[in-house]
């Protein structure tokens, strides 16, 4: 059995400095949602990755080859304006700091000391209030427009996280069982978080830390508490068809999001292992590998995937039977397009998924750039790729 301090190693912790110079240190949460190192941070990139990784000469060479491409690659290259379709996503645990700059730009620094400029007011986690619990100053909430820097730090040993410990459980679905740390209704992920509903018309809030099991019923949920009490709740998104999705994290494949119609039941329990702490997340590496083409040729080098992802801590996204997967590229061994709608994804643990319904794994992929150690960068269209083997 783990002490709360061990479970709390998984919560986001750090120091916030406001623009007026005031500092706060403690457990951090993004609004009422992300609270753990293995939650996914998401924001809009201010610049295309290609602008930093290709020389002017390489760009000119690509221009000559791509003027007629269906996806308008050079239009993407020449568009200097921020575009929310080019999002940066990684685990919070891979981030070293966030620092405000001019013109609503925020500099995200990764653990490899590389910076990525992000744009506020484009949706995502830079447009969400941030909560911090400082033991001396109490609980505070700030908008990012008030913040100068957020410096992420290791959660202190045996820290007693005031906002609650991570929720862990086993989720039964129409596709099978998933076990790991859970985010409920895309928000609740800590034991102090409440699940809401009505019991015979009376509103009730229950802390997740007190729930033993939850089972889906026609228009609500049957809940059994750890003290043995059972009750039926309905008329709320938490316990019925309005639920926005249940995410299970800590899997060998990253995380999977489950729609309510595919949910059967959940049993909440103490984890077999504590959640990943800040030092579990290593410095990001550039994506690299060998791309095999349908014409029999191959290219080896740095890979810019979908003209967007450049680090192994970014995510490959796709769906399988309405189950949404977010898989760090560091978990991916091989990607093999099957047709215009699907790609086979082979993971490092030898498991395999067939994913579709996302530009990462369909003909809507903008293509790849491969930069070999010697020679010029090559732009490759998705339709010409046989498979990609990552290093």
pLDDT in tens, 238-273: 999 999 999 999 877 899 999 999 999 999 998 888
Give the residue-averaged pLDDT of 151-173: 91
- Across the range 346-359, mean pLDDT stands at 92
Residue, of 85 and 368, whose pLDDT is higher? 368
> What string of DSSP letters covers 85-137?
TSEEEEEGGGEEEEEE-STTEEEEEETTS-EEEEEEEEEEGGGS-EEEEETTT
Q: CA angle, corner 349, sides to 364 and 298, nearest 5?
A: 50
CA distance linking residue 208 with residue 166, whole number of Å: 10
pLDDT digits (tens, 9 = 90+) for 42-53: 998 887 666 555
Phi, psi of 32 (to 5 degrees): -105, 20
Confidence grade of residue 162 (pLDDT, cut at 50, 70, 90): confident
Task: Report the C-alpha gap between 95 and 114 in whole angstroms.
Answer: 10
What is the mean predicted confidence (pLDDT) over 282-298? 96
Q: Is the CB of residue 95 less than 8 Å from the CB of residue 110?
A: yes
* 353 in Cβ contact with 342 (< 8 Å): no
Instruction: Tell me which residue of 345, 312, 360, 116 sits closest to 368, measured CA to CA.
Output: 360
End-to-end CA distance of the chain: give it in Å, rounded.
38
Mean pLDDT of 136-149: 93
Reported pTM: 0.88
Q: Which two tokens stand for residue 126?
A: 């830079």
Residues 208/26/106/39 CA torsion (nearest 10 deg) = -30
| Mean residue pLDDT across the chain | 88
Is the model's pLDDT at 205 over the cut of 90? yes
State the average pLDDT over residues 329-347.
96
Encode pLDDT of 53-94 as tens digits: 555 665 665 555 444 444 444 444 444 433 435 789 999 999
CA–CA gap between residue 314 and residue 333 (Å, rounded): 14
Q: Which of 329, 332, 328 is nearest to 351 (CA)?
A: 332
Residue-level pLDDT at 183: 95
Q: Which pLDDT band, with edges at 50, 70 and 90, does 375 fall under? A: confident
| Residue 13, C-beta contacts closer than 8 angstroms, at least 6 positions apart | 26, 27, 28, 152, 153, 154, 155, 156, 159, 278
Average pLDDT over residues 207-234: 94
Give the model's pLDDT for residue 226: 95
Confidence of residue 359 (pLDDT cuts 50, 70, 90): confident
pLDDT at residue 11 is higher than 90:
yes
Lowest mean per-residue pLDDT among 19-33, 156-170, 339-353: 156-170
For residue 365, is it left (φ>0), alpha (ψ between -120 and 50) or beta? beta
The two tokens of residue 274 are: 């504590």
Query: Which among 131, 88, 82, 89 has a CA at the least distance from the CA of 104?
Result: 82
- Determine the average pLDDT of the residues in 169-197: 94
Give the per-residue pLDDT at 120. 87
């Amino acid at each position: 059995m783990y002490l709360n301090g061990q479970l709390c190693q998984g919560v986001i912790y750090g120091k916030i400095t406001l623009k007026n110079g005031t500092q706060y240190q403690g457990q951090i949460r993004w609004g009422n949602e992300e609270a753990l190192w293995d939650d996914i941070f998401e924001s809009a990139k201010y610049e295309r990755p290609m602008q930093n990784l290709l020389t002017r000469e390489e760009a000119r060479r690509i221009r000559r080859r791509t003027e007629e491409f269906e996806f308008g690659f050079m239009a993407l290259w020449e568009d200097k304006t921020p575009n929310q379709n080019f999002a940066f996503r990684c685990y919070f645990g891979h981030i070293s700091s966030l620092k405000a700059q001019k013109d609503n730009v925020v500099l995200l620094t990764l653990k490899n000391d590389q910076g990525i400029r992000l744009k506020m007011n484009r949706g995502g986690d830079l447009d969400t209030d941030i909560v911090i619990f400082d033991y001396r100053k109490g609980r505070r909430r700030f908008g990012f427009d008030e913040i100068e820097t957020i410096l992420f730090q290791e959660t202190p040993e045996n820290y007693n996280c005031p906002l609650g410990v991570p929720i862990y459980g086993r989720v039964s679905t129409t596709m099978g069982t998933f076990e790991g740390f859970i985010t409920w209704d895309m928000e609740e992920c800590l034991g102090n978080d409440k699940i809401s509903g009505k019991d015979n018309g009376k509103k009730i809030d229950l802390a997740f830390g007190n729930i033993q099991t939850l089972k889906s019923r026609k228009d609500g949920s049957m809940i059994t508490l750890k003290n043995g009490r059972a009750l039926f709740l309905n008329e709320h998104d938490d316990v019925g068809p309005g639920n926005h999705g249940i995410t299970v994290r800590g899997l060998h494949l990253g995380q999977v999001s489950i729609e309510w119609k595919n949910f059967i039941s959940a049993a909440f329990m103490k984890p077999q292992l504590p959640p990943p702490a800040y030092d579990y997340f290593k410095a990001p590496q550039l994506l690299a590998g060998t791309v095999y083409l349908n014409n029999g040729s191959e290219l080896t080098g740095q890979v810019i995937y979908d003209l967007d992802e450049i680090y192994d801590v970014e995510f490959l996204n796709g769906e399988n039977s309405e189950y949404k997967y977010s898989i760090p590229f560091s978990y991916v061994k091989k990607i093999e397009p099957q047709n215009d709608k699907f790609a086979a994804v082979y993971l490092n643990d030898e498991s395999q998924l067939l994913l579709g319904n996302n530009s990462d794994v369909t003909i809507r992929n903008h293509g790849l750039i491969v930069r070999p150690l010697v020679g010029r960068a090559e732009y490759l269209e998705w339709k010409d790729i046989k498979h990609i083997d990552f290093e």
